[in-house]
Amino acid sequence: MAWPDGYWPNAPAPADRSQWNKSVSSIHDQLAAFIKLVEDPSRDLTKPFPWGDGQTLLREALLIADHNAYHLGQLMLVRRMLEADSAH
């Protein structure tokens, strides 16, 4: 994908709940696929990929965990803000 356009949505928010649910489902599906890849006993987590500069599956797994933790924190903050706003 082209950077950065291919990595960001075109709109600042989902158009509706269905679009939001589709995004959440996609994240769950992609994470499940990556977990399956990491749990595959035929994969060597520490073997560098044939491409790149020494990256490994373990390094990518740690990057994904860190990245997802950051965004989960953002989602929780937005949720709390929305709940606080609806209480008034």
Answer whether residue 59 is part of any domain.
yes
Helix H or strand E encompassing 28: helix 17-39
Q: Within 13 Å, how many C-alpha atoms sit on residue 59's CB side? A: 9
Domain count, the chain: 1
1 assigned to some structural domain: no
Structural domain containing residue 59: 42-88
Q: What interhelical angle do 57-86 and 17-39 show, nearest 10?
A: 150
Task: Judge whether 66 lies within some domain.
Answer: yes
Query: pTM of the prediction?
Result: 0.71
Q: Note whether residue 12 is domain-resident.
A: no
Given a cut of 70, whether residue 1 has pLDDT beyond it is yes
In a domain, 17, yes or no: no
| 9 touches 46 (CB < 8 A) | no
Q: Give residue for tokens 């073997």.
A: 47
Give 12-27 pLDDT, tens digit per residue.
888 888 988 898 898 8
Q: What is the pLDDT of residue 8?
A: 83
**Residues 19-48 pLDDT 10s:** 888 988 988 999 999 999 999 999 999 999
